[in-house]
Amino acid sequence: MVQYIIVGLLGFLSVISMCMFLFVKEGTKGLKAKPYKTKSGIEHTADRSRMKHIV
């Protein structure tokens, strides 16, 4: 009886995780969906923090 509950719970969690993978927007690492204008009038889609390079 307990094994059926565990298998059902794991199945439910796997379905939920697949739905989240397919329908929830992933992280964009500093990119914005809508462009924004700076004070100089230039349109940007990336945050300023994205300009810092690792290398």
pLDDT at 28: 59
**Where do the domains of the chain lie?**
2-51
- Of 44 and 1, the structure prediction assigns the larger pLDDT to 1
- The CB density around residue 46, as the number of other CB atoms within 10 Å, is 14
End-to-end CA distance of the chain: 55
The answer, as to whether pTM is greater than 0.75, is no
pLDDT at 54: 59
pLDDT in tens, 5-35: 999 999 999 999 999 888 876 665 666 677 7
**Sole residue written with tokens 């199945």:** 11
